[in-house]
């Protein structure tokens, strides 16, 4: 930009600058809402809501409840399958040992 | 606070029920699926990764051993009956009862020796590494458990003697 062409007292330029300013209207109660959000951010979390209430509120959220239920069912099933396989293996081992070594010999 | 507590209690109970229910159901289903077979030798195939040829040899040995094992068990049971009859109502150990006890011990040791010989033969019918593992496992499960009982008894006896 050529600085020699810039004149702050230029009336035409001032008019153009004034016209270019947008005249957006603020939403209702904008100022109040801004202060409220600032206060909320500044206040400690514990003061706003205890961890217990927070946990209870989270448990009621459908997405969180569903995810927890899926994890629990999957975890329980995997654990059960593993235990079932081990129990079946022990049963099979006991059957074999009983067939070749009667209790009176053990 | 009260409402939150109630929600947490219900959530914990529901979680426990979900986890426990799925655990028990899958455990039962899995166990039932795996133990459908009634073949006593299935454990050998699975545990020692035996192929059909190995299994055929093992089965032949097993089938040959079972009648001899049953015969020995019959002799032991008969000797135990004789000993029980001798001990019944007796207030002291008679020489005949002592003789029966000795005969019973001899029969048991013969039966154990026969059983160990069978384990050795079966282990030789398996691939070498699996055979060694089988032999060690069977000794642990049969003679080993007997030794464990004796060890427990000797520990207990030592403890009792210490009290005197």
Tell me how far CA of residue A63 lies from CA of A68, A69, A79, B8, B11, in angstroms. 9, 10, 24, 16, 14
Q: Work out the pLDDT band at A1, boundaries 50, 70, 90.
A: very low
Phi-psi region at A29: left, alpha or beta (left = phi > 0; alpha = psi -120 to 50): left
Question: Which residue ranges of chain B lie beneath pLDDT 70?
Answer: 1, 35-37, 145-164
- Interface probe for A, chosen from B1, B4, B9, B146 (most Cβ of A below 10 Å), is B4
In three-state secondary structure terms, A13 is: helix
Q: Which of B23, B35, B111 sits opposite A91 (nearest CB)?
A: B35
Q: What pLDDT shows up at residue B89? A: 81
Q: How many angstroms away from the CA of B103 is the closest CA of chain A?
A: 15
Please report the pLDDT score of residue B134 as a whole number: 94
Percent of chain B with pLDDT strictly greater than 70: 85
Whole-model pTM?
0.62
């Amino acid at each position: 930009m050529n600085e020699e062409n810039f004149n702050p007292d230029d009336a035409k330029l001032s008019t153009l600058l004034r016209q270019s300013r947008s005249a957006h209207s603020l939403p209702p109660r904008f100022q109040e809402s801004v202060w409220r959000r600032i206060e909320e951010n500044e206040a400690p979390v514990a003061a706003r809501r205890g961890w217990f209430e927070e946990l209870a509120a989270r448990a009621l959220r459908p997405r969180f409840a569903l995810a927890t239920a899926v994890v629990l069912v999957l975890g329980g099933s995997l654990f059960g399958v593993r235990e079932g396989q081990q129990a079946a293996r022990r049963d099979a081992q006991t059957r074999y040992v009983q067939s070749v070594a009667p209790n009176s010999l053990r | 606070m009260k409402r939150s507590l109630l929600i947490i209690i219900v959530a914990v109970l529901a979680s426990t029920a979900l986890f426990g229910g799925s655990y028990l159901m899958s455990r039962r289903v899995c166990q039932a699926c795996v133990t459908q077979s009634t073949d006593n030798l299935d454990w050998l195939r699975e545990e020692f990764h035996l192929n059909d040829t190995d299994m055929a040899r093992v089965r032949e040995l097993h089938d040959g051993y079972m009648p001899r094992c049953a015969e020995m068990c019959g002799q032991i049971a008969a000797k135990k009956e004789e000993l029980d009859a001798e001990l019944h109502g007796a207030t002291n150990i008679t020489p005949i009862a002592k003789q029966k006890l000795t005969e019973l011990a001899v029969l048991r040791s013969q039966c154990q020796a026969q059983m160990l010989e069978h384990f050795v033969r079966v282990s030789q019918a398996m691939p070498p590494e699996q055979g060694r593992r089988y032999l060690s496992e069977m000794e642990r499960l049969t003679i080993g458990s007997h030794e464990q009982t004796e060890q427990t008894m000797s520990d207990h006896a030592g403890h009792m003697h210490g009290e005197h």
